[in-house]
Amino acid sequence: MITKLIAVLVIYATTFIPSSAAVAGEGGHYRGETMEFRLGKLVLSATQSSEDSGYFLRFSKGREELFYCDCAFKTNEPRTIRHAPLEDCRTLLAYCFSGGAHCCTTLFIATECGSGESLDMADLGHSAAKVECIRSGETPGRVLKVQDWQLAYYGPENSEFQLSFACSPAMTRLLVFDNGHWRADRAGEFSRFYSGLLRQAEKRALHSARIHQTELAASLSIKAAYYVLMSGRPVEDAVQVLNRLFPKKWKFETAKIAQDISRAASEFNPVETIR
């Protein structure tokens, strides 16, 4: 589910409409000024607060106001990606941070494909980095690479073990443009992509174990098992990976942890449709 507040969308296109004489272009700053940006028929008005780093947003289409909200500040400048997800499309990525320790960033994804327009938002959890738009080689066009933070501070139920935030696993996932909107990818949909991530996680887990970084080794083992499932393999294979990679004291919890990982992978659903 989308956490915290509905946050910012700033839409860049070939034209924009300023509502004051002071105009900030891409990468500019708002100082108590309101600006309007367009992507097709979608329009966002953004007003920077003159008192703090916050700002207020109103998104509309024609005369219809779709939402009004405020957020603490943005983590990254918005950017438009051309030829994404497909050649005749363009996608705008814009971020907003809710404030507070570690949490939470909301990503707005505005997409124009031909005559169609869509607006989605994705909960990025603790992520603050820019979202990458990549070609996977396993589907036409491009996809968005995000992170799954469901297992932050993870510890098996009724167990003495719990990961710190610094060692919490953040698993890579992909968002796919499907039927006019973005969605999370499914297990087995990008098997080669996740098999590559699995090999990396296994290598890092073994190295961490060798240098006695037990907590990090456990976290990387969890990531490896997650990627086993996302590559399309059964939970039994994930159990085998955990048994092989886990530090000794974690192996007693392998079966329970494998189920928790399986649940996280299947329930990852960070995207909600706005329009």
Residues 269 and 135 grouped into a single domain: yes
Confidence (pTM): 0.85
Q: 8 with 57: CB under 8 angstroms? A: yes
What is the total count of domains within the chain?
2
Residues 40 and 144 grouped into a single domain: no
Closest Cα to residue 44, out of 77, 68, 24, 73?
68
Which has more confidence, 79 or 144?
144
Give 5-42 pLDDT, tens digit per residue.
433 333 333 233 333 322 333 333 344 477 777 778 87
Residues 142 and 87 grouped into a single domain: no
Residue 42 pLDDT: 79
Residues 120 and 213 grouped into a single domain: no
Sorting pLDDT into bands at 50, 70 and 90, what band is 155?
A: very high
Give 185-200 pLDDT, tens digit per residue.
999 999 999 999 999 9
CA distance 55 to 133: 27
Residues 146 and 243 grouped into a single domain: yes
Sorting pLDDT into bands at 50, 70 and 90, what band is 57?
A: low
CA distance 220 to 31: 44
Q: Phi and psi (nearest 5°) for 229?
A: -65, -40
CA distance 250 to 219: 10
Residues 27 and 46 grouped into a single domain: yes
Percent of the chain, pLDDT > 70?
83
Residues 200 and 118 grouped into a single domain: no
Residues 137 and 268 grouped into a single domain: yes
Residues 137 and 207 grouped into a single domain: yes
Give 237-267 pLDDT, tens digit per residue.
999 999 999 999 999 999 999 999 999 999 9
Question: Pick from 128, 160, 186: which residue ends a domain?
Answer: 128
Give the residue numbers spanning the domain of 59.
1-128
Which has more confidence, 236 or 27?
236
Question: Pick from 128, 153, 185: which residue ends a domain?
Answer: 128
Residues 144 and 36 grouped into a single domain: no
Residues 213 and 105 grouped into a single domain: no
Residues 100 and 9 grouped into a single domain: yes
Question: Pick from 128, 161, 195: which residue ends a domain?
Answer: 128
